[in-house]
Amino acid sequence: MTTATTTGRARPTRRDAVATLAAFTGLAALGTPAWAQGDKFPSKPVTLIVPYSAGGGTDIVGRLVAQRLSELWGQSVVVDNRTGANGVIGSSHVAKARPDGHTLLLVVGSHAINPVLMKNMPYDTVKDFTAITEIAASPTVLVVQAAGPYKTLGDVIQAGRKADLAAGYSEGQTRLTVEMIRQAANLKLTGVPYKGGAPIMVDIIGGHLPMGATSVLTALPHVQSGALRVVGVAAAKRMPIFPDAQTFDEIGVKGVDSESWYGLFGPAGMPDDIVTQIVRDVRKVTSEPAVAEQMRTQGARVVVNSPDEFRGFLQKEVGKWSQVAQRGGIVAE
């Protein structure tokens, strides 16, 4: 409805103004993606949730990548350590976040193991996240006291086939790695739970525990000090950082494959163009010599793959560890 003016032109009523605004808003919505807050991603600071303690391997990798991405994007990438429940608390926060790329998640291999060992998960590990890319990977290692009776992986295997041995573990992946070793090598091996990797190292050094499965980052300073020895690498190839440590495959023990991988996720439903940009930019910053060298000194190798490849890898990891748990009679708690 309009009203006449003294100039002869129709003066718009309030109803006309509302209708015009609604029409304009509808056209704008058609031409603008739901996530957009500007013409460029990121349009504001990005939060990188690391659901583990500050100072650990994931935190170190996360801060290294966050710093380089901040420089590349011209926006802060802030690392937020939201710990608890072996990564579940921080991961749950990301699963509920807006899928615009401004809230991301960096996790390790336990992300694929949590649904195997834990009941009543608050999210679906595969469906409730956008798999973006793997960033780096590092094998789980088997460590012993440097001055102890075991000098090689073969020594450990021979001893474990004759008498009961104990091996420490600190979370889901190292727990199932110990079980994987027991099954593959047919050992009399009992896993002993610890609240962290550091106490395992202390007990092995003190002679209270024969061995333990742990990450390279946890073992490295003690190996460098001469207190511990890495005897086994749960991967296909030996590690340059531990050249004397044998792989299980080398001594005829097949199927021991346990990598501590670092993977980047977002909430489910992230736009493809944002995911593509993040993968491209992560590949760019991790290809810098300084970043690659820092990863190498921590015993990790850079692995940047496509979202499809990473999603397929995640599904295989869940299946692999489910089989290990089933064969060992380990049920979710």
Tokens of 242: 């531990």
CATH architecture of 46-137+260-327: 3-Layer(aba) Sandwich (3.40)
Question: What DSSP character marks residue 239?
Answer: B
CATH superfamily of 141-251: Periplasmic binding protein-like II (3.40.190.10)
CATH 3.40.190.150 residue spans of the chain: 46-137+260-327
Ramachandran angles phi, psi of 62, nearest 5°: -60, -45
pLDDT at 15: 42
pLDDT at 39: 57
CATH 3.40.190.10 residue spans of the chain: 141-251
pLDDT at 294: 86
Q: Where are the alpha helices (DSSP H) in the chain?
A: 14-31, 57-73, 88-95, 110-117, 153-162, 172-185, 197-205, 216-224, 272-286, 289-297, 307-327
pLDDT at 170: 87
pLDDT at 29: 36
CA distance 106 to 94: 10
- pTM comes to 0.80
Half-sphere exposure of 157 (CA within 13 A, CB side): 19
Rounded average pLDDT per 10-residue block, the chain, 333 residues: 42 42 36 49 96 82 94 96 91 97 95 93 95 95 97 96 95 94 96 90 96 92 96 94 95 94 96 97 94 86 94 94 96 91
CA distance 114 to 77: 27
